Chain A
Amino acid sequence: MVTLVLIIFLMHYSAANRSEVSALEKWLGDVYAPLQSGLTDIQAWTQSLGTGFADKNVLKQEMEKLQQKNHILFVENQQLKENKAEVERLRNLLAFKDENTAAFDMEAARVIARSASNWYQILTIDKGSTSGIEKGMAVVHPDGLVGRVERAGRYSSQVWLITDHELAVGAIIQETRETRGIVEGTGNDSIVRMINIPYYSQIEPGQQVVTSGLSYTYPKGILIGVVESIQKEENGLVQNAIVAPAVDFDKLEEVLVIKSFLPEGEVLIEGE
């Protein structure tokens, strides 16, 4: 009974936003990080080989006609394609980083693992406190907002995605600028929900939802997603919107952690 009470207390304590995580949790994260990082590398390598073999069937007919290409060159070519795709992704990331250099201090990181449980929406990245990553930092991708760092180990960090049911982000509709609401995760990785929208708001499907900037965590204007549908609450005073996240979380391979950012006003002064 004592154990049960202790565990329930521990659950309650660790469910809320903790200011600091235990050394044991950090250590465990760091133990897994090199293994997960290594496996991610192996997966990427085998994926490039797999792509090569999949395309091989298509190219086989050509090979028969031309009777030239050999297998080694083909595999090399596929690996180059994979590298090219990676360069393209990193270039986009870099371009995004350069565009926002004045406003944000960012650190690029690689996704090395995902949630071990179906109940939480989390990612593990290969950068930790040794790279200046701290709890509470926003994580973005050129496509939009990814989430927030919740646990920073020495060499790895855990990121809670915006689709996680524990995360809430202040948001506005980009087109109208008038609606301030809260975007909360639903646990479903393909939708989030914008709540507390006043009944008179001119919100429509297709409008873009961006961060409102009303917090120290998320800079203003980062794309969260696109409104899919609107639901009116029974009381008639507020409405909710189902929002499709801008980021495809299943395909995330690299992300950017915003280590610090200047509030909008200060950026404008610098720009002037």
Chain B
Amino acid sequence: MRLLILILLPFLAIFLQSTIFHSYSIKGTVPDLVLVFVVFYAMLSASNRSVGYGFACGLLEDLYMGRMIGINALAKALIGFIIKRFQGVVFKENIWVGIIAVVIGSLVNALILFVLSFTSFTVFHVDSHMFTRVFSQTLYNSLLAAPIYVIYYRIAYSDWMRKNR
């Protein structure tokens, strides 16, 4: 059941990002829920599979988009790795920790995507619009991070989930 939820989350995230969130975009920008889920998994999961989970979620995103396959897989795997490094030294009960992790994850994600785009000779136009998009997406991700973190945290530490682990 736990595995099923973990698989369904990125599916649901892509579905929402491509449909309903376009009606509620901030400056034409939609949130990256896949990233939010990867960050929370890395923060709250006891297992050491955050790199693999990030990779799988990013790959799903890439396959759905059908372009530069692997770019999101690598970016999300690296974010899973980075966030996991801080897991033991942060106070996870504090909601601000979740929000700050998402802010860091969003900025790192944008930076990784930009750097990796060089490897395929497809460089995004670096202009004020790009910075606006990165900023808007970071803001949107962090706004959604708060309620999602509360729900994710409660589910992750619920007795029911512990039994299913």
Contact = CB atoms under 8 A, between A and B. Distances in A.
Contacts, number: 114
Contacts of B122: 15, 165-166
Contact of B67 (A4, A15, A35, A40): A15
B28 A250 contact: yes
A11 interface: yes
A166 B67 CA distance: 10
What range describes how many residues of B lie at the interface?
Answer: 35 or more
Given A39-B19, A186-B125, A188-B129, A151 B66 contact: yes
Given A15-B121, A36-B19, A124-B18, A116 B137 contact: no
Interface stretch (B39-47, B69-77, B81-89, B93-101): B69-77
Contact of B63 (A24, A119, A187): A24
A189 interface: yes
Contact of A8 (B66, B70, B129, B137): B70
Interface string A56-90: 00000000000000000000000000000000000
A118 B73 contact: no
A15 B129 contact: no
A151 to B, nearest CB: 5
A1 interface: no
B63 A28 contact: yes
Contact of A11 (B14, B120, B133): B120
B130 interface: yes
Interface in B134-154: 137
Given A7-B70, A14-B66, A122-B65, A113 B19 contact: yes
Nearest to B120: A15
Contacts of B127: 186, 188
A20 to B, nearest CB: 11
Contact of A14 (B69, B125, B129): B69
Nearest to B22: A114
B66 A187 contact: no
B65 A116 contact: yes
Interface of B: 14-15, 17-20, 22-23, 28-30, 32, 60-74, 113, 116, 119-122, 124-125, 127, 129-130, 133, 137
